[in-house]
Amino acid sequence: MIVTDNYLFSKSDLFNVLRNQISSVQNEVDSISKDQFISNSDDQIAEYIYSKMEIVPLVIYPDRAVLSGPREIRLNRQHLFGHRIHPPGVETELSLPYTGESDLWECRPSSFSSVFPRGDVIPQRGNEQTGTLKIKFQYQQGDFQDDIVNQEIAECIASINKYLGWIKRDVEAHNQQLKNEVLRSVKLRRERLVGILDVLKTLDIPIQKRDGVPNFTELAIHRKHIEPLSSKQKTEPSYAISDNNYNTILDVIRHEGITFERTPKTYAVHNEEELRDILLAHLNGYFKGQAAGETFRKKGKTDILIEFENRAAFVAECKLWKGDKKLPEAIDQLLGYLTWRDVKSALIIFDKDVAGFQKIQEKIPGILRNHPNCLSVEAVQGGTEWKMVLRSQEDLDRLVTVQVFIFNLFVAKSS
């Protein structure tokens, strides 16, 4: 039986939440500066505002669910005569990945049943649009059988999916209304600005103009695919990935790698390409499909590439640990993929075949420092992550940052 106390879809009325968001549209439109309004069309501004406010429905992924435990416990049950009894039992927990707006787990849709599903929602740190739903089950020892557990999990997932269907229907109708309201508000703001500008044209006193903005624009990668509004510029802007976006990508890789390490038996069965695909799925949860696997890049194929408007923003290579000599080759391979626009990247290593992980950790900093292009190596996290600065293979004056990760997936073979 499910013993998680938290009821889902029951804390607030989704209708009121969606109505309040519609009411805030005008404030969002008014927050756009006058210069940006003048520099962009109504459709561009409306798309920008809508992409910020669009609500992403919840989706669960039962095929990627993980069951932890089981562990022996003492149950807390009430006897027929009123006193408490504590028979031996078994406890296990289902971890169910999801994407979508995490707040929707608390919202009651327009259709609902008399029984609310239960579970504990744990959003991914730094991103409220992906996370894990955890559901705890307890059984008396005689009831912990595969058919009973499978049936209860299937019924639980079916109940959740029924609510997610109702949520999706309400959200999709709302998003259409939101799009119309955004465009209406943009047109109203445009009419007000036109009126102001018409008055300014008739004034005898000249209006002081601001100097031009800098001609360097950071390449923005947004979790909800929010296209940045442009401003008038004198020259063609350069592009680069921002430190904030780079650190967010590294956080995703770090979190997923640690997740792999916690249940190594689940992931050690996968080869290099399959581990890459799992990591890509999580990156896509953050960056809405901008992560691509085996995308052709310059001298070969790279494992992970995120692009923006056909400009590379982030390049990473996934490798299995195959010994000391293979690490410099992996670095060379990664550098070979980078163009002059790519200055921030990552090398992700999984050790699933070699025992003695600590010895591997101790070797890596020296191997990195001995690379001919290396300028510096800095330990970042607990002996499993290093920030490496190198000179580019094509241009020795251009510096490249490579975040090197290693994750331990080694599982000793049972005799």
The two structure tokens encoding residue 226: 């929010």
Predicted local distance difference test score (pLDDT) of residue 23 = 95
Predicted local distance difference test score (pLDDT) of residue 383 = 80
Predicted local distance difference test score (pLDDT) of residue 203 = 58
Predicted local distance difference test score (pLDDT) of residue 298 = 52
Q: What is the DSSP string of 57-103?
A: PPEE-GGG-EEEEEEEEE--EE-TTS-EE--EEEEEEEEEEEES-GG
**Residue for token digits 């890049």?**
297
The two structure tokens encoding residue 187: 């047109």
Q: Reduce the DSSP state of residue 116 to 3 states and report it.
A: coil
How does pLDDT run across 261-289, given as a tens digit for each residue?
A: 988 888 888 888 888 888 888 787 776 65
**Residue for token digits 């997923």?**
256
CA distance 48 to 411: 48
Handedness of CA 355, 361, 366, 367 (dihedral sign): positive
- Kindly tell me the burial class for residue 120, based on how many C-beta atoms sit within 10 Å of its own C-beta (0-12, 13-18, 19 or more): middle
Predicted local distance difference test score (pLDDT) of residue 207 = 44
Low-confidence residues of the chain: pLDDT under 70: 78-82, 126-128, 196-240, 287-302, 307-312, 340-342, 414-415
Q: What is the largest CA-CA distance in the chain?
A: 93
The two structure tokens encoding residue 240: 């680069």
Whether pTM exceeds 0.75: no
Predicted local distance difference test score (pLDDT) of residue 301 = 66
Q: Reduce the DSSP state of residue 308 to 3 states and report it.
A: strand
Handedness of CA 352, 358, 361, 367 (dihedral sign): negative
Predicted local distance difference test score (pLDDT) of residue 208 = 47
Strands (E), 236-343: 291-297, 300-308, 311-320
**Selection from 183, 159, 174, 163 nearest residue 56 by Cα:** 174
How does pLDDT run across 114-158, given as a tens digit for each residue?
A: 999 999 998 877 666 788 999 999 898 888 888 899 999 999 999
**Selection from 285, 291, 288 nearest residue 60 by Cα:** 285
CA distance 353 to 196: 69
The two beta strands, 88-99 and 107-108, are unpaired
Predicted local distance difference test score (pLDDT) of residue 300 = 59
Bridge partners of residue 92, in order along the sequence: 137
Tell me the CA distances in angstroms from 307 to 18, 222, 241, 311, one per residue in order: 32, 12, 10, 5
Distance of CA 65 to the CA centre of its chain: 17
The two structure tokens encoding residue 146: 């595969």
